[in-house]
Amino acid sequence: TRTFSHGCIRIAKPIDLAEYLLKNENGWDHNKILAEIGKGKRQILKLSRPIDVHILYLTAWTDVQGDVQFRNDIYEGDETLLHALSEKPRTLYPDEIRKPKENPGQHGCKTTVIPLPPLTEIVSE
């Protein structure tokens, strides 16, 4: 079925996405994109600069009217998420690293090093 594909992602506006991704690539404009799509052949293009992609899978959200929308959890991620949220967050750094430390600076001056707040992670085991 469509829900269990080979990693394909359905795109609402594929031409707009292609234009955005290829806007800084030489020779790629709207007409070139349409011409290449019209050939019906798969192409792999290497971008000159990487683009970060964030994929979000939601089974509940609010729409623009503020109404809550629910969908079936077809990838069965809700159970894992609920388990992770019920666990106590664990600190990535041991306590001794997070404590302020006094260090002798240059010429005998004391400096105090105060680490950044701890990063935490929610681990599902």
Instruction: Tell me the backbone φ, ψ of residue 111, rounded to 5 degrees.
Output: -125, 145
Give the long-range contacts of residues 108-115, CB within 8 A, separation 24 or more. Answer: none
Range of weakest confidence among 7-16, 74-83, 103-112: 103-112
Task: Dump pLDDT digits (tens) for 50-65.
Answer: 888 888 889 999 999 9
* DSSP β-bridge partners for residue 70: 60
Beta bridge partners of residue 112, listed in sequence order = 102
Instruction: Give the C-alpha separation, 19 to 50, whole Å.
Output: 15
pTM: 0.51
Assigned token pair, 114:
């105060």
pLDDT tens-digit readout, 57-100? 899 999 999 999 999 998 889 999 898 888 887 766 666 555 55
Could you give the CA distance from residue 62 to residue 66 in angstroms, rounded to a whole number?
Answer: 5
- Higher pLDDT residue, 104 or 50? 50
Give helix 30-38 / helix 14-22 axis angle, nearest 10°: 120
Q: Is 80 exceeded by the pLDDT of residue 111? A: no
